[in-house]
Amino acid sequence: MYERGWKRGLTLALFLGPSLIGVSVFVLGPILASLGLSFASWDLLTAPRFIGLKNFTQLLQDNEFWTALKHTLQFLLGYIPLVMGFGLLVAIALGSGPSQTASLALMSRL
């Protein structure tokens, strides 16, 4: 009974291992590198120099950041509910139609 569990665990590790390595290298690695560099000043010619939270204080004082954040929030609160509502209406129309022919006719007009 224990041997079966051991084999199952090994099989699981062999199947999940390559994908977990790929996620670690190509997703988590760049995220952690970016996080580390966000606390540094780096001009690509010299070694990065640790400056702490100075980058973040500069960001919060920048008017362009606040303008971009305002536009992003307007997009999120305006466009996304509109698209989701339209998609919901189309789904309801297609799901409650009298026949598939009417649903196909409706879809051809969209």
Three-class HEC string of the chain: CHHHHHHHHHHHHHHHHHHHHHHHHHHHHHHHHHHHHCCEECCCCCCCEECCCHHHHHHHHCHHHHHHHHHHHHHHHHHHHHHHHHHHHHHHHHHCCCCHHHHHHHHHHC
| Residues 6 and 42 occupy one common structural domain | yes
pLDDT digits (tens, 9 = 90+) for 1-28: 466 778 888 899 999 999 999 999 999 9
Stated pTM of the model: 0.60
Tell me the residue range of the domain where 74 lies: 62-110
| Residues 24 and 70 occupy one common structural domain | no
| Residues 2 and 51 occupy one common structural domain | yes
- Total domains, the chain: 2
| Residues 75 and 102 occupy one common structural domain | yes
pLDDT at 7: 86
| Residues 86 and 43 occupy one common structural domain | no
